[in-house]
Structure 1
Amino acid sequence: MRIALLQTDPTVGDLPGNAALIAEGVRAAAAQGADLCLTPELALLGYPPRDLLLVPSFVQAAEARLTELARELAALPPVLVGTAWPTPGAPGRPLYNGAALLRAGRVQTRFPKTLLPTYDVFDEDRYFEPGPGPGCFELDGRRVAVTICEDLWNDSQFWEQRRYPGDPMGAVATLGADVVVNLSASPFTLGKQQVRQKMLGHLAAKYRVPVLYANQVGGADDLVFAGRSMAFGPDGALLARARAFEPDLLVVDLGAGGAPPAPGRVEADDFAPESEAWRALVLGTRDYARKCGFTRVLLGLSGGIDSALTAAVAAAALGPDNVLGVLMPSPWSSPGSVDDSLALGRSLGIETMTLPIAPLMAAFDAALAPAFAGAAPDVTEENIQARIRGNLLMALSNKRRALLLTTGNKSELAVGYCTIYGDMSGGLAVISDVPKTLVFRLCRWLNASQGREVIPAPIITKPPSAELRPGQKDEDSLPPYDVLDPILEGLVERRQSPDEVAARGFDPAQVRRVAALVAGAEFKRRQAAPGLKITDRAFGTGWRMPLASRLRT
């Protein structure tokens, strides 16, 4: 038996386009002798469809497209398609999430998902009713058990603490399955792939059955999917692994007549955090722009390391010819910052433009002079500079019909070291889930991996500064980033209290101040552009903190 894993990059809501990707994959798999094809989770609708699932006409259109797809593929191998369909009118949620088996020109049977995640970015209990458990079907004398994504993530021997009382894989053992397949849309986060491989290998060995996993690839709003579809033999060994961060077709030979599965293609990969983060950011930026209808992007170049990394990601994602870097020097901008920005533009091969903001600053000062009479200059004037720049960038975005990328990192967003309607203006916050220390590591890694200074050395070595007043440095307002980032990791990703973070050796007063900054900046994050999630806890759809709250955690 040969099973093909169709690692597709669907677009949410694009039923014709997603069906075409599936059909194309099935035809290619048939040419390679596949007996069964497997798509990712909800591949027909695109994952995650979110509240599109609450629109009855969308669900009806998906059902109609599924029926058309079954007819179109009638003469080809059967295919398990990830989709959603209405429940039969019983009490509960209105839909099932699962797999539909298309065979011989019709939808032969359906397999609903059992475990519905509601943590982090997931909210499946909002839409779906859980299925009763895994099901099987016969193919060429073998029993194929069908599971959907989370159904594999609850083994009591692998996880110290399980999220659900039941384990669908335990039920698979009673079904006499000869192979387990899993339709998945498991988002990327740094380091998750190694855990995923260990878990799937553990399950295959525990139940002495091959486990095949088809994962989505591509960007979907704030989420990035790395693909890396895989197959494991009954001994738990990795048989095959598809490419990372790009669509692929992986055909796995499970053998015939009692023969063991044949080792397949295992794509080389790099699990270093810098390599993974870079590829995720490039793919997420490319797909966000493409799926939102943009072919060009622009961003402000300050001469700092954050805008440099964002520009490098943009150039890799959309091509240098489609990126505009805008310099907006003020009287406080150092000559080095201007020179470094121009050098970066030449290194990346992108277009640059210079729009000095001193005349606009003077105009604002004059207009506000009567209202500000008797008040000393403070952060207000600094914010005006940021908002002038934001206005210029948005004007260029409108005029050029280009997506504006914001350049703030996770450390800044966490503590509110950013300006609403200023440097936060834009349509995509590319590095908003990249801590400042990782920004530095990524730039050094990029230069080393390319064998040249993609990011000019002065940008990496200069002290970070917003340059909104003479001699300003980030450390005037914040702890050093090599101190701030571990504190933020404890508060944000580990969900620790300030006392728990301080117990790890940090100054308690400093930790409490950072915790207060994180809580006080919630209103800014609520108005930020969507950002690409690459860590276990990002300030995106999985972050649901209240705005009006007195608790400081």
Structure 2
Amino acid sequence: MTDGFLKVAAAIPRVRVADIAYNTQEIESLVVRAEGQGVEILCFPELSLTAYTCQDLFAQQLLLEEAEGALVRLLDLSRNLTLTFIVGLPFQHRGMLFNCAAVIHGGKLQGLVPKTFIPNYKEFYEKRWFTSAAALSERQMVHFCGQNVPFGAKLLFSLNEVHFGVEICEDLWAPIPPSSQLAIEGAQLIFNLSASNDVVGKHSYVRQLVSGQSARFHAAYIYTSCGFGESTQDVVFGGKTIIAEDGHVLAEAERYCLEPQLTMTEIDIDRIGSERRQNTSFADSVAINRTDAPYPVVEIETTGVLHSAPLTRIVDPLPFVPQGEELDARCQEILCIQSQGLATRLVHTQGKTAVLGISGGLDSTLALLVTVNAFDRLGLDRHGIIGITMPGFGTTDRTYSNALKLMEGLGVTIREINISQAVMGHFADIDHDPTRHDVTYENAQARERTQILMDVANQLNGLVIGTGDLSEMALGWATYNGDHMSMYAVNSSVPKTLVRHLVRWLALNVAEGENRLTLLDIIDTPISPELLPADPEGKIAQITEDLVGPYELHDFFLYYVLRFGYRPGKVFRLAERAFDGQQGRPYYSPSIISQWLTIFYRRFFAQQFKRSCMPDGPKVGSCALSPRGDWRMPSDAVSTEWLKECETLLPDTTAEPLSSES
């Protein structure tokens, strides 16, 4: 296990009904293949040694004894392997036959887990052959394959401090699956050996069960079901594997494939731990459902050799931005959340006027579109939206023109207040040289704009609508008591990468004609506060991402730092995978990632004082920085330990000195 990732696999072997020698050979082949791929835990389908569809042959002594002999052969194979694998077979005990999962590692049968829920309805007749684990009074030790083996449904297994449990097929379908209690007892992974047949519509339901169960108890769920070779006398087994983590399906097999399959991915054990720590209901469930006798843990002794196979699971470079059809639904939902929040605040304050500073940039554009939507839903006149453009020393013709065109196209009230003269007067008052383009020069403009917005809102008995986004608040890229402040901040939990996609979605799906063209040009405009004079050609000279770094990197860092609390080393290596330039992903070199990650941590810690007094605003996603909601951090917390780890990522990692304000 590297960086908290455990490599698992779900196998679908070809089988022949009751041909144990053939089935064992197929299992061995997949085990060796998985070992070569660095898999650490591998599971096979239900009754994979015999095949699931043996029916009354399960009563044949020859079949049962051959299954035991085959297990001995697999145990012998495992002596020279590092992985743990789980196979299904029938096991007779005290005159009863149990449908079991055998956990194998290092030549030892680590445990036998019997099936609890035995289906006996419709096409299933398992009670004709098998007994439920409920018939066992407690966990027992049995002698099998020449070894003394733990036997029972209430077993946990520990591999390198990772705990996993096993359930079998129908167990998942029960109102309270055994895996629920296994998770309560500490299992971070659940392996399900299944033999679910295929009928129309069933696969999607099983997929929901697997992903839902993994989400419910913040764990990984590895499911595999019988495939080609099972009897098709009355039903068909198409073969399916589903590997889910905390509600997200990571990997699946091709269904109805005639060849053996191995579905592999890595499980993020750190993520599971983070989710459980943050969700207090998980801890409450442990307390409420604690059993008198804790489940015994079978410690699997390993050789101590850690796998170092490269990470194969996809790491999305844009974790805040869904893909495909999901993006449409997500954008529409976010717009509704933002506008509903604002509409509620307008009704509560009995306000009919909203005041916004419109710069021609992405953030103010989204805030304006949200405000228009809120006004339309409330049946208010759009002229009650006061859009104020406030040209200054760095305003370019492109952004100025787009601001005016957007406001005109949306039918809101347009005001223009040039701030240059007022700021120059302020410079004279405080004896600041206007040719000195320092932080005072920049922030004086931002505060002048905010003062104008606040005073106009007072004049009109309205609300100042904030335009700043989540990424800016994370980096502190806002002037304290300037654009940092508003009366309701509709973008406060929308990261910059998502702002761009939201505006694009609105341009393509809501806007028409000239408004669409204006929005598309705003999207293509470089991100800038425009607080420094334009270049000789009248173009934007102050590019935000040149100063603080690419927002797609910072949003990536923010997601894993805020959402899961990962340490810098893990965030760095995830970023290397996400921005490796493969399969259409963007590319950043390790040195660039290290450089901006260091700056991210320095700014994130240093700028907390701005987040400690954020204005109200709606939470729209899984991450937010409101001190009244998701994030409580002392403003004087130090970043020493985080920066120290950043220094170890690359020998040439450097960081630039940063001021307390942008």
TM-score, normalised on structure 2? 0.43
1:496 aligns with 2:566: yes
| 1:337 Cα deviation after fit | 1.3
How many residue pairs match? The answer is: 305
For 1:483 and 1:270, the matched residues in 2 are separated by 20
Q: State the match for 2:371 in structure 1.
A: 314
For 2:548 and 2:510, the matched residues in 1 are separated by 33
| 1:438 Cα deviation after fit | 0.4
| 1:332 Cα deviation after fit | 1.6
Answer yes or no: is the 8 Å Cα contact 1:491–1:515 preserved in 2. no
| 1:295 Cα deviation after fit | 2.5
For 2:374 and 2:557, the matched residues in 1 are separated by 32
In the TM superposition, what are the counterparts of 1:399-418 in structure 2 within 5 Å?
Answer: 399-418=459-478
In the TM superposition, what are the counterparts of 1:293-442 in structure 2 within 5 Å?
Answer: 293-319=350-376, 320-369=382-431, 372=432, 376-442=436-502
Answer yes or no: is the 8 Å Cα contact 1:383–1:419 preserved in 2. yes
| 1:373 Cα deviation after fit | 6.8
| Aligned partner (choices 506, 512, 528) of residue 446 of structure 1 | 506
Q: State the match for 1:118 in structure 2.
A: none
Q: State the match for 1:149 in structure 2.
A: none
User: Could you say what secondary structure the match of 1:352 adopts?
Assistant: strand
User: Could you say what secondary structure the match of 1:326 adopts?
Assistant: strand
User: Could you say what secondary structure the match of 1:439 adopts?
Assistant: helix
Q: State the match for 1:63 in structure 2.
A: none
Q: State the match for 2:45 in structure 1.
A: none
For 1:287 and 1:456, the matched residues in 2 are separated by 27
Q: State the match for 1:466 in structure 2.
A: 529
Specify the code of the residue in structure 1 equivalent to 2:524. Answer: T
Q: Which runs of 5+ in 1 are unaligned?
A: 1-153, 166-193, 204-268
For 1:416 and 1:159, the matched residues in 2 are separated by 44
User: Could you say what secondary structure the match of 1:298 adopts?
Assistant: strand
Change in 2 beyond 3 A, CA 1:417/1:293 = same
| 1:494 Cα deviation after fit | 2.4
For 1:344 and 1:162, the matched residues in 2 are separated by 54
In the TM superposition, what are the counterparts of 1:150-549 in structure 2 within 5 Å?
Answer: 157=179, 198=212, 272-319=329-376, 320-369=382-431, 372=432, 376-450=436-510, 452=512, 453-454=515-516, 456-470=519-533, 471-504=541-574, 505=576, 507-540=593-626, 541-549=629-637
| 1:317 Cα deviation after fit | 0.3
For 2:560 and 2:330, the matched residues in 1 are separated by 19
Q: Deviations over 1:253-290 (max 9, x none)?
A: xxxxxxxxxxxxxxxx9972212211111111111222
Q: State the match for 2:638 in structure 1.
A: 550
| 1:198 Cα deviation after fit | 4.6
Specify the code of the residue in structure 2 equivalent to 1:343. Answer: K
Change in 2 beyond 3 A, CA 1:373/1:361 = closer
| 1:299 Cα deviation after fit | 0.7
| 1:157 Cα deviation after fit | 4.1
Answer yes or no: is the 8 Å Cα contact 2:391–2:400 preserved in 1. yes
Q: Deviations over 1:63-84 (max 9, x none)?
A: xxxxxxxxxxxxxxxxxxxxxx
Answer yes or no: is the 8 Å Cα contact 1:387–1:421 preserved in 2. yes
Q: State the match for 2:226 in structure 1.
A: none
For 1:274 and 1:500, the matched residues in 2 are separated by 30
For 1:545 and 1:523, the matched residues in 2 are separated by 9
Answer yes or no: is the 8 Å Cα contact 1:281–1:532 preserved in 2. yes
Answer yes or no: is the 8 Å Cα contact 2:437–2:532 preserved in 1. no
| 1:539 Cα deviation after fit | 0.8
For 2:442 and 2:433, the matched residues in 1 are separated by 17
| 1:331 Cα deviation after fit | 2.5
| 1:410 Cα deviation after fit | 0.7
User: Could you say what secondary structure the match of 1:282 adopts?
Assistant: helix
Change in 2 beyond 3 A, CA 1:366/1:340 = same
Answer yes or no: is the 8 Å Cα contact 2:504–2:519 preserved in 1. no
Answer yes or no: is the 8 Å Cα contact 1:340–1:459 preserved in 2. yes
For 2:372 and 2:354, the matched residues in 1 are separated by 9
| 1:163 Cα deviation after fit | 11
User: Could you say what secondary structure the match of 2:458 adopts?
Assistant: helix
TM-score, normalised on structure 1? 0.51
For 1:316 and 1:196, the matched residues in 2 are separated by 38
For 1:197 and 1:271, the matched residues in 2 are separated by 22
Q: Deviations over 1:316-336 (max 9, x none)?
A: 002323211111101220011
| 1:364 Cα deviation after fit | 1.2
Q: Which moved more, 1:343-352 or 1:375-384?
A: 375-384
Specify the code of the residue in structure 2 equivalent to 1:366. Answer: A
Q: Deviations over 1:170-202 (max 9, x none)?
A: xxxxxxxxxxxxxxxxxxxxxxxx999957999
Specify the code of the residue in structure 2 equivalent to 1:527. Answer: C
Specify the code of the residue in structure 1 equivalent to 2:418. Answer: P
For 1:316 and 1:539, the matched residues in 2 are separated by 25
For 1:379 and 1:345, the matched residues in 2 are separated by 30
Tell me the percent identity.
28
For 2:340 and 2:433, the matched residues in 1 are separated by 50
| 1:509 Cα deviation after fit | 3.0
Answer yes or no: is the 8 Å Cα contact 2:602–2:639 preserved in 1. no
Change in 2 beyond 3 A, CA 1:196/1:433 = farther
Change in 2 beyond 3 A, CA 1:273/1:155 = farther
Q: Which runs of 5+ in 2 are unaligned?
A: 1-175, 188-207, 218-325, 377-381, 534-540, 577-589, 643-662
Answer yes or no: is the 8 Å Cα contact 2:360–2:522 preserved in 1. yes
Specify the code of the residue in structure 1 equivalent to 2:621. Answer: T
Q: Looking at CA atoms only, which structure, 1 or 2, has the larger radius of gyration?
A: 2
Answer yes or no: is the 8 Å Cα contact 1:303–1:341 preserved in 2. yes
Specify the code of the residue in structure 2 equivalent to 1:289. Answer: L
Specify the code of the residue in structure 1 equivalent to 2:561. Answer: L
Specify the code of the residue in structure 2 equivalent to 1:286. Answer: A
Specify the code of the residue in structure 1 equivalent to 2:469. Answer: N
User: Could you say what secondary structure the match of 2:552 adopts?
Assistant: helix
| 1:432 Cα deviation after fit | 1.1
For 1:397 and 1:354, the matched residues in 2 are separated by 15
Change in 2 beyond 3 A, CA 1:270/1:458 = closer
For 1:354 and 1:393, the matched residues in 2 are separated by 12
Answer yes or no: is the 8 Å Cα contact 2:601–2:639 preserved in 1. no
User: Could you say what secondary structure the match of 1:469 adopts?
Assistant: coil
Specify the code of the residue in structure 2 equivalent to 1:303. Answer: G
Answer yes or no: is the 8 Å Cα contact 2:357–2:453 preserved in 1. yes
For 2:598 and 2:181, the matched residues in 1 are separated by 33
User: Could you say what secondary structure the match of 2:548 adopts?
Assistant: coil
Q: Deviations over 1:1-23 (max 9, x none)?
A: xxxxxxxxxxxxxxxxxxxxxxx
For 2:419 and 2:487, the matched residues in 1 are separated by 22
| 1:293 Cα deviation after fit | 3.0
For 1:374 and 1:447, the matched residues in 2 are separated by 39
| 1:482 Cα deviation after fit | 1.9
For 2:185 and 2:393, the matched residues in 1 are separated by 56
For 2:595 and 2:408, the matched residues in 1 are separated by 45
Specify the code of the residue in structure 1 equivalent to 2:614. Answer: A
